[in-house]
Structure 1
């Protein structure tokens, strides 16, 4: 087992289908899983490859969600950023299937947040509408889970989730900005930092630990560390290490000074 282990960041370069190596109880799980038969992350044991059935794909995700459930603090939550997928012209309601199976594991479904992506330009097929949304499946381990008042946020008045004096709504507007990470060959589905920042703020306090079982290019890690949290991640493809190194290099926390040496 290969592992990066520092004060505020631990990365296990192995599958999250078995997280017996995890020694902490995270307050929040924040992740976006690999899609089924859509994106190739260049690893023989990756979840979602084209030669496995949709049901087997969901079964493998169940193994990850079960590990997350067992690891989470009793007041913890899990946030899964995911969208529907096309299967030979048929629409698969992946967010709802994940929610249903997570409830069978023991999670409580709190909401299906809609992430509005106003800058999206591509449809799922040539004979379909342009897809300008994804979902954030919001689950909790118990009814008495942590959920913080939002306070200050990076979004402005264009975000329909924000209304002065009112609780946070479940329609979130976060444009997708194409940048250096979006151009990385390895990572084909980065999510915006502002989206993850919001989830980190509402689901954790400073000093809490965030777990990402599909760490990818390290967006969750960057957000967690930048906001004073700790992060534990699992990533099966160690080729992402250089991407993470580049992304985290500008963080000012002293705990990261020697993280990549």
Structure 2
């Protein structure tokens, strides 16, 4: 499949074993690709709130654009595949200070919605006339409501308060841990000279690897292809490679392509170093 994609789209901005990154508009690029080969899409598009990496559009245009690229994702997705969508909030003059964007897309997504996941990221702005915002939404979609991957045992939470509690002589809790529920309390990637996360890159809207790792483990299997049409800092690619999933990313900004490429290259280099060290023993 990777060879076929290179034949169709040409030389990628970055290429490594099991990884392609294209400096292309994802909607245009995906329109050239064949049907039903993607196992998992994990992505977070621009929120249309005037950030440095986006060009703000009228709300109706933005929602129509979302419908177009999501429809392309649907076409590319395997019958048993999944689509994880992260979107934040935007304002609607005279109607809403902060409305979750996925709520505006409920009738524009052809996938079947399994669940909304609330990511509680723990740090953020302080409110004076409203509760301080501390979450974003992930929507977990599948193509077939009865046939999809869910590897619960791979993502169980081992932080169990009473792991040895029994009932009628049997353990009450799965020895692998508990279901992590639909509220994920995972810290965001922070910035600043004193409190910057170790995984921080220059990208202004970077996902923590812990969030993406849980999604990829739960909704795909090794050697199944994952894509991110809005690659940004490359978190999806790094995590996918670490978990032995081939990955393809699209990113319209060349400076973000470079951030992602450098990050992936550094990750692969570190992997090689560790493998070499282990081979000594």
Common fold by TM > 0.5: yes
Of residues 15, 25, 28, the one that matches 1:15 is: 25
* SS of structure 1 residue aligned to 2:260: helix
Aligned match of 1:28 in 40, 44, 57? 40
Q: So what's the TM-score if we normalise by structure 2?
A: 0.76
Aligned-pair Cα RMSD in Å: 2.5
Higher helix share: 2
Q: Which has the larger radius of gyration?
A: 2
CA separation of 1:133 and 1:155: change in aligned 2, threshold 3 A: farther
For 1:110, the equivalent position in structure 2 comes to: 114
Question: What is the deviation of 1:36?
Answer: 0.7
Of 183, 195, 203, 1:171 maps to: 183
Corresponding residue of 1:133: 135
1:94 to 101, 114, 131: 101
3-state SS of the aligned residue for 1:243?
A: helix
How many Å apart are 1:92 and its aligned residue?
A: 2.6
Aligned partners of 2:156 and 2:179 also within 8 Å: no
**Greater displacement, 56-65 / 84-93:** 84-93
CA distance in 1, matches of 2:16, 2:114: 33
Question: How big is the shift at 1:126?
Answer: 4.8
Cα distance in structure 2, aligned partners of 1:200 and 1:96: 24
| 5+ residue gaps, structure 1 | 255-261
* C-alpha separation in 2, matches of 1:213 and 1:111: 21
CA contact (8 A) 2:189 2:206 kept: no
The answer as to 2:63 corresponding to 1:58 is yes
In the TM superposition, residue 242 of structure 1 has moved relative to its aligned partner by: 2.3
Match of 1:76 among 81, 88, 91: 81
Q: Distance in 1 between matches of 2:155 and 2:114?
A: 23
Find the aligned partners of 1:97 and 1:139 in 2 and give their Cα distance: 16
In 2, the alpha carbon distance for the partners of 1:68 and 1:151 equals 25
| 2:119 partner SS | strand
What's the offset of the Cα at 1:207? 0.4
Moved more, 20-29 or 200-209: 20-29
Q: Deviations over 1:93-138 (max 9, x none)?
A: 3022234311xxx2101111111112x1304x65221111111011
Distance 1:155 1:188 in 2: 32
Q: Which moves more between the two structures, 217-226 or 241-250?
A: 241-250
What secondary structure sits across from 1:100 in the alignment? Answer: coil
Superposition deviation, residue 246 in structure 1:
2.8
Provide, for residues 166-206 of structure 1, a one-character-per-residue CA deviation record: whole Å limited to 9, x for no partner.
Answer: 5442111111142366461xx22111100000000001111
**Does the residue aligned with 1:110 lie in a helix, a strand or coil?**
strand
Q: What is the CA-CA distance between 1:87 and the residue it aligns to?
A: 3.7
Contact between 1:150 and 1:168, CA under 8 Å: does it hold in 2?
Answer: no
**Cα distance between partner residues in 1 of 2:222 and 2:86:** 22
Q: How does 1:207-246 map to 2 (within 5 A)?
A: 207-246=223-262
The change in CA–CA distance for 1:175 and 1:164 in structure 2 (over 3 A counts) is farther
Separation in structure 2 between the aligned mates of residue 28 and residue 221 of structure 1, nearest angstrom: 12
Residue 22 of structure 1 aligns to a residue whose secondary structure is coil
